Every structure is written in C-alpha cells, then in structure tokens.
Amino acid sequence: MSPSHYYIYYPVRMGMEADLARELYNLQAEIQAHTGVAGRFLRKADDPWTWMEIYENVIDFPAFDTVLARAVARHGIERFLEAGGHRHIERFVACA
C-alpha cells in the first residue's frame, strides 16, 4: 500500500490563533503517540485566517482516520473555526 499524505485546511476564527496553535501542538502530539505520524501546521501566506494541517507518509489510513477524528473531537478543534466553516480533508498519494 502506498503512503498517503493528508492536507487539511480550514478557516480560523479571528482572535483564536494562539489558542488554536496550542491545541494543535497537543493534538499532533497525541496523534504521533498513537500512530507514529508527526504532523505540522501552517497558515496561508496571503490569508492568515486559513490554516492547514499536514500529515505525511500515513501507511494505515483507516486507522489514522479514526485517531484523527477522535483527536479533533477530544481537542474541540471545531470551536476554532470561522462560523459556517469546516475542515477540508484531502488525501494524496504518489503518482508512480
């Protein structure tokens, strides 16, 4: 099975950036402890209210999906999203 790479982007509620960053560090530490996959997060260069989480080289993506969903719920990530916004999860694999 080819590794998957996750790119998850979403609009952040203004004024919540510092709290979200702290929560994402905790969330990603939890994910790494359960899956071995280290995550990172970025903000869009020309739109500081759009953030992205990146998880690369995920081998067992069904198990990763479960761990990710539980961690997102446990850490209350939805409360940091702009009203009406949601997390867009994209999963990519190598072309060849």
pLDDT in tens, 17-65: 999 999 999 999 999 999 999 999 999 999 999 999 999 999 999 999 9
Whether 68 has a pLDDT exceeding 80, the answer reads yes
Q: How far apart are CA 34 and CA 29, in angstroms?
A: 9
What is the average per-residue pLDDT within 54-80?
Answer: 97
What local confidence, expressed as pLDDT, does residue 40 receive? Answer: 98
Enter the pTM of the model.
Answer: 0.94
Whether 1 has a pLDDT exceeding 80, the answer reads no
Mapped onto helix, strand or coil, the DSSP state of residue 30 is helix
Nearest to 12 by CA among 84, 93, 94, 68: 84
Whether 16 has a pLDDT exceeding 80, the answer reads yes
